[in-house]
Every structure is written in structure tokens, then in C-alpha cells.
Structure 1
Amino acid sequence: MKVSMAFAVGTLVLLAACDQAGGEPTPGVADQADERAQLEANKQLVLDMWHEVLNGQNFDAARKYISPDYIQHSPGIEGGLDGLIEYLETSRPDAEPLEPGTYPLTEFEFVLAEGDLVQLMHQRQLPSRDDPETLVPVWWYDTYRIEDGMIVEHWDSIHR
């Protein structure tokens, strides 16, 4: 009887301790989950922008994704959101917004997120500088900085 009573009391003490500890998250785990969720949200923001604005040619939709104070580091493109939209409209004068679901697909080799940055890499076949009849692989790297759920800055590089 003593053993059964000791076992019952010990079990109750253990269960009470587990119940109290159960409400406390393991330090760092919740923060890591929040950080991963934020990184995924940042990647999705950039992919949604790329899909709707660039692939879908809906340049005015950039306002949903890109801050008015957008900083553009690409030579030849004016800074600010309006400068980007003007560049897109000028560089693709015949572009009409496509219907959702009909957008061409850009296949990315990778999409990385770290802190407030998202980087995309993809390849296109473009005419060679030496022989315009020959297509050569060209690698594009685009890096975006995200702040408060909006794209605020962009860098890119192109490698032939």
C-alpha cells in the first residue's frame, strides 16, 4: 500500500510539473519558427511580384508589392517605384497585362532568403554578342530587400 501511495503521489507531482512546463515554449524554438515563417513570406512576396508584374506584364500591380521609396541599383533605371514602372512600360511598349493563369513561368534555379533579403537565380537563352544567330545561356541574379511586407530595394547582375 505504501508503494502504491508513493507511486500515486509521485505521478501526480510529475503530472503537475509537466502541466506547468507545458505552457512554456522551449527558448528559441518559437523565435526560429517565426523567423522561418517570415523568410517564407518574404520569398512568396518576391515570387508573387515576379509572377504578376514581370511574367504577367501587369506593371501597375507593382504598387501592391513595391514601396514608393523603392531603391533601384540597376544602371539605366530611375529610382523609385514610378521609375521602375516607367522603365518596364518603355522597355516593353507592346506589353499588355496577361490574364491570371496564362502567365509564362520563370523557372528559378534557386530562391534564397536570409534576414530581410531574397535572392533569385534563373537562366535565359539570349543571342550571343558575337553571333546574334547563336543563343547562349545567360544567368540572372536578382536580390530584393524587404521591409514591412514591401520590396524596398533591388540589385541584379547578369553573367554570360
Structure 2
Amino acid sequence: MNNEVKNKSIVLKAFDTLFNQRDYDAAEEYWSANYIQHSSLIPPGRQGLFDLIKSLPNTLTYEPSVMMAEDDKVMVHGRFSGNGSPPALIAVDIVRLENGILVEHWDVLQDEATIVSSASGLPMFGARFPDSIE
């Protein structure tokens, strides 16, 4: 398995472990203790990220979609739903890995468009609009 495929697999496992399973002890194995956070919505460091997730409803779910990897960086297009306030957030998360550990993060977040608000008439994530926002 090449390094880029391996890194994509690590990121998927890390995101599932933290956002869906909420297993903070296991998530520590994926996120560096010196994690660098560039998001304007997430407090600094690994603990800042973990504390943010702990503050959100247990209904939070993360769904990945398109992924790309180049060298030590992975980019994932995903949906965060059940975050306590509709609509869901559509995200592009970019992470940098060192030795299989997430060490740095950037993101771009946008509220998911409804069928009414989508100028293109197309969903932002997947093949259809979620039932809850049509």
C-alpha cells in the first residue's frame, strides 16, 4: 500500500473514531499531542478539538465522501450532521500527517444548501438532498 492510500485510510479511521464513535482515548492515537489547528471555529491543539466535540450533541455524525491525498496531506469532502442546529455542515478538511499521525488541520465549512436554496438545483453532498432539509 502506498503512503497516500495509507494516509487516507488513517484519516478515515481517525475521523470515525473521534466524530462517530467519540472514543477520545483511541483518538489520541491518531492526533498528535502537538496538533496544529488552523480552523477559525476550533480552539487550538488536540484538546481544543476534543473539547469541541465533547460539547456537541451525541447525535453528531460524520460522513466522508471524496478524498484526495498528495504526499503527507489528505483532503476529505464530508458532512457533519446532527450537530444541534440544522443545517448540516459540509466540510473540506485538509490534514497533514507525520508518521501516521494527524499533526495539522485546515478546513472550509459551509451550511448545507436546501433544495430551495441551491442555485444549481444540485445537492452539495452525495446524490440527493437530505430528507430533513428538502
Equivalent of residue 53 in structure 2, options 70, 84, 88: 88
What's the TM-score once normalised by structure 1's chain length? 0.58
Alignment check: 8 A CA contact 2:79 2:89 kept: yes
Q: 1:149 aligns with which of 100, 103, 125?
A: 100
CA RMSD of aligned residues (A): 2.8
- Structure 2 residue runs of 5 or longer lacking an equivalent are 112-134
From 21, 24, 28, the equivalent of 1:63 is 28
Distance in 1 (alpha carbons) for counterparts of 2:109 and 2:31: 22
Summarize the alignment of residues 49-128 of structure 1 with structure 2, pairs less than 5 Å apart. Answer: 49-92=14-57, 95=58, 106-123=62-79
Structure having the higher strand fraction is 2
TM-score, normalised via structure 2 length: 0.67
* Identical-pair percentage: 30
Task: Return the letter of the residue paired with 1:75.
Answer: S
Secondary structure of the 2:29 match is helix
Q: What CA distance in whole angstroms lies between the structure 2 residues aligned with 1:76 and 1:143?
A: 15
Please identify which structure carries the higher helix content. Answer: 1
User: Does the 8 Å CA contact 1:53/1:60 hold for their aligned counterparts?
Assistant: no
Residue 121 of structure 1: CA displacement? 0.4
Letter in 2 for 1:69: N
Q: How does 1:5-24 map to 2 (within 5 A)?
A: none
Q: Which runs of 5+ in 1 are unaligned?
A: 1-35, 97-103, 127-131
Give the count of matched residue pairs: 109
